Amino acid sequence: MRIRYLGPSGLRVSELCLGTMTFGEDWGWGASKEESRGVFNAYVERGGNFVDTANGYTNGTSEKIVGELIRSDRDRFVLATKYTFPTVRGDPNSGGNHRKSMFRSLDGSLKRLGTDYVDLFWLHAWDYSTSVEEVMRALDDLVRSGKVLYVGVSDTPAWIVSRANMLAELRGWSPFIALQIEYSLIERTPERDLLPMARSLGMTVTPWGILGSGVLTGKYNDVPPSPSRAGGMTGEKVERRLDAMNSQKANEQNLKVASAVVEVAKQLGCSPSQVALAWLRTRPGSIVPILGARRLSQIHDNLSSLEVTLPEEHVRRLDELSRIELGFPHEFYTDPVRRDRIFGGVYSRMADHRGP
């Protein structure tokens, strides 16, 4: 596995990140401690060093399992965890982006992880109630305390992240160096603002949901379109159908994309999951996909995507089929008439275009 710098920092991480939301069975699904160990070991054997968890994953069990797995060689790993979501239901200050939630959450995470610091501390989701100033100052205090080395931000609008990093730059605080977002062949809306922002600020992007809730594996494409036509279906297929009905991502357009992914996989002799991951690795900027696996076979399959290189014709096909409308103001500036007016008729003579 190759190594990348994490954003503008000097911190070095593997090109794939191990997501551990599946570690633990507290939510009625997920991997047992033994299966989690197998997944972790398979990732490490391929050269992985970047492990991502969160205070609320499987009610804290994920952090406990991760802590046990890295304890014998803690400093080898780039350990990331998150705060925002409450750990005590009904307690108004147990969650949120504010300073009390932040400090309380980190202390709990450090205890569960069995360590005295985390390499990367993520804001998990923007709560729209805490000021940017409070968040960035409090995060900087944690960095100065030594409990946190770097900070990142997840599931937050681009304009908030941009403002936060500008404040950090002006006031000498620790900036966000990484951005965690949902991004895949069937969720490309981050290409409007979040991804251009990340490239502009030099941030590494760690996408989650890279298989589109399983849609990109192709497992929903052969499921009957409605329960009324499910006569004779096995219990497993009924379960898959209900799963598809409950997933907003299993719509007609996304199933077309999944079908194309399956076709490309057949032509290349690999799995659809590997194609979906290989496509992510063709994206511009610093992209470190997060792998999430409940079974050992899944992590082996995902790690094998490192051996898959998509030919240009396949990249173009998948790009076109999954392309989204960027909308205003992005398409306003690319309109030829408006572009001609903005540049006074010399756009075609410009040697180094800086825009889209």
- Map 82-130 to HEC letters: EECCCCCCCCCCCCCCCHHHHHHHHHHHHHHHCCCCEEEEEECCCCCCC
Structural domains of the chain, with CATH: 3-214+269-325 (3.20.20.100), 326-356 (no CATH)
Is 150 annotated as catalytic? no
Considering the candidates 43, 57, 150, 220, report the single residue annotated as catalytic. 57
- Confidence band, pLDDT 50/70/90 cuts, at residue 236: low
- pLDDT per residue as tens digits for the range 334-350: 888 988 888 899 988 98
Q: Quick check: 10 pLDDT over 90? A: yes
Least confident residue range of 56-65, 252-261, 326-335: 326-335
pLDDT of residue 230: 41
pLDDT of residue 351: 85
Please give the average per-residue pLDDT across 253-261, as a whole number. 96
Q: Quick check: 172 pLDDT over 70? A: yes
pLDDT of residue 223: 67
Q: Annotate 258-307 with three-state secondary structure.
A: HHHHHHHHHHHCCCHHHHHHHHHCCCCCCECCEEECCCHHHHHHHHHHHH
pLDDT of residue 228: 41
Burial of 65 (0-12, 13-18, 19+ CB in 10 A): buried
- Confidence band, pLDDT 50/70/90 cuts, at residue 74: very high
pLDDT of residue 243: 58
| Residues shown for the chain | 356
> Higher-confidence residue: 229 or 274?
274
pLDDT of residue 240: 55
> Do the beta carbons of residue 258 and residue 244 sit within 8 Å?
no
Please give the average per-residue pLDDT across 163-184, as a whole number. 98
Supply the mean pLDDT for the chain. 93
Please give the average per-residue pLDDT across 274-285, as a whole number. 97
Q: Quick check: 104 pLDDT over 90? A: yes
Using CA atoms, how far apart are residues 82 and 118, in angstroms rounded to an integer?
10
Least confident residue range of 3-17, 93-107, 215-229: 215-229
Cβ-Cβ contacts under 8 Å for 184 (sequence gap 6 or more)? 207, 209, 210, 211, 212, 216, 276, 280
Q: Quick check: 227 pLDDT over 70? A: no
Q: State how far the alpha carbon of 356 is from the alpha carbons of 73, 162, 333, 339, in Å.
A: 45, 19, 8, 11
Question: 């400090």: which residue's tokens?
Answer: 103
pLDDT of residue 237: 52
